[in-house]
A = this chain, B = another copy of it.
Amino acid sequence: MSQQNIYLDYAAATPISKAAQLAMQPYLTDQFYNPSATYLAGREVKRALETARSAVAHWLGAKTSDIIFTAGGTEANNMAIHGVMAANPSGNIVICSIEHDSVLLPAQQYDVRIASVDKSGRINLEDLESKIDENTVLVSVMYANNEIGTIQPITQISKVIEKQRRNRNNRLPLYLHTDACQATNFLDIHTSRLGVDMMTLNGGKIYGPKQSGALYVKAGTILSPIIQGGGQERGLRSGTENVPACVGFATAIDEAQQMRQSESERLQKLQKSFVDKLIQDIPGAVINGSQKYRLPNNVHVTFPGQDNERLLIQLDELGIMAAAGSACSASQDEPSHVLEAIGVSDSDAQASIRITMGRSTDHNSIDKTLQSLKNLVVY
C-alpha cells in the first residue's frame, strides 16, 4: 500500500501481517510435504498443522478437534448450513434478516424462517423466539454485521435456544451457528461464553491469508460434509491441507485476539471523533446501524441525495479507498438487503458509503477523509 494512500476498506480485505507472512513462508516453500504422508518430513508438516489447529482452538476455548480448517469464511458458512440441514432433512432453519449471502443463499435452499432486526440492525429476540419451532435444527446469526457493523447479542440468543432445547419433545438437534468473520478482530470469540455450537472464522479479514479460515464445530454436533474425498479435517473438508494458509491463519487469529482490546479502544476513539465530525460538518449525514452495539472500526453513513458511486470514485482519485456495502455484492449492483432490512430507502442506500478502519488507520487518515468528504458532498 503506497504511503500516500488511505485504505478504509478493512471489512473487505486486510493486508497480511508480517508475523502471519513469516509463519507461512516455510510451508510455502521447503516444508511442502503432504501432511498425510508417513515419512518424517510429512509428519513434521502434520505437526505444524495440528499446532496451528490448537492455537485457533485456544482463543475459542475449544478442543483442538473442534476446529475444521476451511478455504475461507464463505465455505465455512456453507458447511455449517448444508452440513446441519442435509443431516436433518425434516428440519427448518432460522436466520436473521441481515445475514451475509453465504448464509442467506444456502439457507434459502431449505425451509427457512427469517427473524427481523430493529432500525439499528439488532435482532428482535422475541421475533427470533417465535420463529423457532419443534423442527428447527439450526439458528444462524452473524456476530457482527459486515456492512453496518451492528453486533448481535449472541449470548442472549444462546439462552433463547437453550430454553427451546429444554422444552423440546423430539430428538432433533437445535444448534446455534454464528458467522464471526468481522467480529474476530474486536470481540470475544470464546465459544462457551458465547454459547455457540458452530462459529465461522475467516483469515482474510484478520490480517491472515485469503481463503484461510475455519469452522468451529462443537463436539457432538453432527454435520454432513459438503466436500468429500481423502477424509482430511475429520472427513468434513477433504483435500490436501493448505498448511501455509492454516499456519498463517493461526498466527493471525493469535495476533488479532491479543490486540483486540487495545485496537478496539484505539479505533473506538477514532470512530467517535469521525462520526461526531461527520454529523457536525456535513449537513444531513446519517449514521446507519447501532451506535451502541457496533464494531469499533465501522462507519456506515448516508449523505442523502448524493451518489455513492461518484463519491467513491472521487475519493479514490484522492487516494482514499472506501466501499459501498459489502465487497461481495459491490459488483452486483443490487440494493443491499441489509440496508433494506433496517429501513434505509433505495435512494438513501445509493447515497451511502462504508468506511472500515484497521491497523494502519490513524487521526491523520480520518482527518483527511473527513476533509475530502466535506469537499465532495455538495448540496
Contacts and interface: CB of A to CB of B under 8 A. Distances in A.
A46 B101 CA distance: 21
A204 B244 CA distance: 12
Interface of A: 1, 5, 9, 12-16, 21, 24, 28-30, 32-34, 36-42, 71-75, 77-78, 100-102, 105-106, 204, 209-211, 226-232, 238-245, 309, 312-313, 315-316, 321-324, 326-332
B242 A321 contact: no
Contact of A12 (B5, B34, B100): B34
A34 B240 CA distance: 25
A230 B75 contact: no
10 contacts: A1-B30, A13-B37, A15-B32, A34-B327, A39-B315, A71-B71, A74-B229, A102-B228, A210-B243, A230-B329
Report how many copies the assembly holds. 2
Nearest to A9: B37
Contacts of A241: 210-211
Given A78-B229, A226-B78, A327-B36, A239 B72 contact: yes
B210 A105 contact: no
B13 A210 contact: no
A43 to B, nearest CB: 10
Nearest to A211: B242
Contacts of A228: 74, 78, 101-102, 105-106
A102 B238 contact: yes
B327 A74 contact: no
B227 A75 contact: yes
Given A1-B30, A239-B71, A244-B210, A231 B101 contact: yes
Contacts of A34: 9, 12-13, 327
A337 B14 CA distance: 44
Given A71-B242, A105-B238, A209-B242, 7 more contacts: A12-B36, A40-B316, A71-B211, A230-B326, A231-B328, A232-B328, A240-B327
Given A41-B321, A204-B240, A101 B332 contact: no
A38 B324 contact: yes
B209 A211 contact: no
B37 A102 contact: no
